[in-house]
Amino acid sequence: MDLRLTGLASGFDWETLVNRLVELERVPQQRLRNEQSLLQQRNTAYGSLVTQLNVLRNRVEALKDPSLYASRTARVTDATVLTAAATAAALPGRYTVTISQLATASSLAGTANVGAPISATDDVSELVLSQAGFAVPVTAGTFTVNGRQVTIELTDTLQQVFDKISAATDGVVTASYSSATDQITLHSSSGPIVLGSAADTSNFLQAARLYNNGTDTVTSASALGAVRLSARLDQARFAVPISDGGSGTGEFKINGVSITYNASTDTVADVLARINSSAAGVAATYDAVQDRFLLVNKATGDLGIGLEDVTGNFLAATGLLEGTLERGRNLLYSINGGPQLVSASNTITAESSSLPGLTITALKEGTTTVEVSTDTAKIRTAITDFISEYNRLQSMIDTETAVSTDAQGKVTAGVLAGDWQTHSLATELRRLVNGVVTGLDGPIRQLDHLGIVSNGNDNTLQLSDETKLDAALASHLDEVCALFSDSSNGLAVQLSAFLDAAAGEDGSLIRHQTSLQKQISDI
C-alpha cells in the first residue's frame, strides 16, 4: 500500500511552522509572567517604604512625647566620689554633696574550727592520707625538709610520713600530731628547720599548714581539720555532729525566714545554697582557712542578723549561734552644707534626701558637686535622628520613582515611577515639615526657626544653622516642645497621624500591598 503525507516531498518547512505556532501560543503566558514579576517588584518596593515609614514614625513618636523636653541630666564634678542620675522630676540646680561615711553590710563570723580534727587521738598510725580530713587534700609526690626530699603516697599513713621525715633528715627532725589542737609539730635537734623547695611536687607542707619561721620548731598555723561541703550533713566531719532532730526535717531561722534540711540527704553545700536563695537576705559562705561559716547581710546599713535553731542544731554546730556580729554602717552625708542625713544604702533617693527625681550613688568619702539641668543633648539627638530618617525615606522615594534617559535615548524608570500614591506621600510629607504650625505663640513656629530647612535639590531636610537650634533649646525650650508636641497642631502630632494613616495597621499602603499580593496570586 502506498502511504504518503502531502507536502512531505514538496519541500515545505513544517518544522518552522510548528515552532512559530508554539511561540505564538506562549506569548500570553510570557506576558502574564512579566506582569507578575512587575507586580512583585512593586510589592517589594512598597514593603521597603512601609518599613522606613515605621522607622520614621518611631522618631516622630519620640518628638511627640512631652516628657522628652523635661529630660534632665546630672553632671558630677568628681565622679570618683559619687555618680548621679536625674529624671524629669528633678529640679534644675547645683548641689554640693559631702559623703562622710559609706554604708557597709553587717556580717556575722561563726566560731573557728567547727570541723572535727583529722584524728581523735594523737596516734595517727592508722590515719591514711587519702582519708584524712585535711581542709586542703594532700597530693602525692615529694616535699623538702632541711634540703632532704621526702616522698609520700596517698596510701601512706600520717605516722609513716612522720617516719619518712625523720629518716630523710637522719633523725634530726621529728614530727608529731596533737589531737587537742589538731596541729602537727616539727622539731629539730640541730638548728632551725628549713621547709620546701622549688622542686617540690607534693603539697603536704601547705596542707599541714607548716611554714618556715626561722626556729627549730614549726607548728601548723591553724587546726587542720575542716568541714566537707560536698558531704552529707551527718558525714561532713563537724566537731559537733549535726542533727535534724531525728525526723529528717530539721529547721532553723535566719532573720525570721525558715530554712529546712535533712541531715541524712542534704549536703552542707545544699543548705548554704538554700540560705543564699531564700528571702533571709544574707549570703552564707564557708572559710576553709579558719574553718568557720560566715553570714553577710545583702543589704547595707546598721542591721542585725537574727538566728534561731528551731529543730535540730545546724546553727549551733556551724558555730553561727556563738558567732561575732560586726555591725554594718549607715551612709552619712549632707547636701549644700545642711544637717547630716542618713541612708542605710549607698544609693541616695528622694526618700532620704528630699530631692525629687535625683538618685545619687556614693562611691567614697569626699565632697563634690552635682549639677542638674535640662538634657538638651537628648532633645537635639531626637531632632537630628528625625531628620536622618526623614531624609532616608525621601531618598528612597526618589530612587523608586525616578525616570532617567541615557545618551542613547534609553529610558530607565524606577519600579514605582508614575505611582500617584508614592508621589502624594512625598508631597504631603514635604508640605507638613515645611509648614507653619498654627495656634502657637512665640518665636518658634516652624522648623526653619530651628535652623532646619529644605534642601534645594531634593525633598530632604538639612540642619543649616546649628547655632540657631542650640539657642532655641537653651532659651525657648517650651516653644520647641510646643512646636513638636502641641496636642492640637504640633508637627510631630500631625506627622504621627499622617504616618499612621499611611503605614499603620490599616494604612493606605498596607491596603495597597494587600491588593498587589492578590493580583500576584490571581495570575
Which residues lie across from 343 on neighbouring strands? 331
Cell numbers at residue 398, please? 526618589
* Contact partners, residue 407, CB within 8 Å, separation at least 6: none
Q: How far apart are CA 121 and CA 142, in angstroms?
A: 27
Q: Which residues contact 138 (CB under 8 A, 6 or more apart)?
A: 129, 130, 132, 152, 154, 202, 203, 204, 207
> What is the percent of the chain with per-residue pLDDT over 90, rounded to a whole number?
76
Cα–Cα distance, 216 to 208 (Å, whole number): 17
Q: Quick one: cell of 190?
A: 640541730
pLDDT at residue 411 in the model: 67
Please state, in angstroms and rounded to a whole number, the distance separating the CA atoms of residues 339 and 317.
46
How far apart, in whole angstroms, are the C-alpha atoms of residue 303 and residue 330? 9
Q: Considering only CA atoms, which of 231, 227, 209, 228 is closest in space to residue 218?
A: 209
Render pLDDT for 384-394 as a digit per residue (tens, 0 to 9).
Answer: 999 999 999 99
pLDDT of residue 161: 98
Average pLDDT along the chain: 91
Mean pLDDT value of segment 5-12: 52
Among 33, 50, 44, which Cα is nearest to 517's? 44
As beta bridge partners, residue 462 has 453
Averaged over 317-334, what is the pLDDT?
A: 97
DSSP state of 66: G
According to DSSP, residue 172 is labeled S
At position 286, the amino acid (one-letter code) is: Y
CA dist 140 and 165 (Å) reads 15
pLDDT of residue 46: 85
Residue for grid cell 502511504: 3
Amino acid at 29: Q
- Single-letter amino acid, residue 450: L
| Arithmetic mean of pLDDT, 148-169 | 98
Q: Which of 97-106, 288-297, 495-504 has the highest mean pLDDT?
A: 97-106
Per-residue cell: 502: 499611611
Assign 5 a pLDDT band (cuts: 50, 70, 90): very low
pLDDT tens sequence across 246-283 = 888 899 999 999 999 999 999 999 999 999 999 999 99
Q: Are 464 and 451 in contact (CB under 8 A)?
A: yes
Interstrand relation of 331-335 and 341-343 (parallel, antiparallel or unpaired): antiparallel
- Give the three-state DSSP class for 213: coil
Q: Compute the distance between CA of residue 200 and CA of residue 143 in angstroms, rounded to an integer.
A: 5
Mean of the pLDDT values across residues 32-43? 69
Arithmetic mean of pLDDT, 444-469: 93
pLDDT of residue 32: 55
pLDDT beyond 50 at 163:
yes
How confident is the model over 506-511, as a mean pLDDT? 82
Query: What average pLDDT does this structure show over 143-168?
Result: 98
Measured CA to CA, the distance from residue 450 to residue 461 in angstroms comes to 12
The amino acid at 300: T
Residue with cell 508640605: 431
Contacts of 499 (CB under 8 A, 6+ apart): 53, 54, 56, 57, 60
**CA pair distance 329, 321, nearest whole angstrom:** 22
Q: Are residues 250 and 314 in contact, defined by beta-carbon separation less than 8 angstroms?
A: yes
Query: Cα(373)–Cα(436) distance, rounded to whole angstroms?
Result: 30
- This prediction's pTM: 0.71
- The predicted pLDDT at position 4 comes to 45
Residue 476 has pLDDT above 70, yes or no: yes
3-state secondary structure 240-280: CCCCCCCCCCEEEEECCEEEEECCCCCEHHHHHHHHHHCCC
Residue with cell 565632697: 367
**312-344 burial: b if 16+ Cβ within 10 Å, else e:** bbbbbbbbbbebeeebbbbbbbbbeeeeebebb
Of 27-41, 116-130, 341-355, 418-432, the one with minimum mean pLDDT is 27-41
pLDDT value at 6 more than 60: no
1 pLDDT tier (thresholds 50, 70, 90): very low
pLDDT in tens, 480-508: 999 999 998 999 999 999 999 988 888 88
List the Cα angle 285/290/293 in 5-degree steps. Answer: 30
* Residue 428 cell numbers, joined: 504631603
Burial of 453 per CB tally in 10 Å (0-12, 13-18, 19+)? middle
Closest of 363, 121, 150, 115 to residue 235, by C-alpha: 115
Q: Given this model, what pLDDT does residue 45 score?
A: 85
Single-letter code of the amino acid located at 6: T
Within 68-173, residue ranges assigned H as helices are 158-168
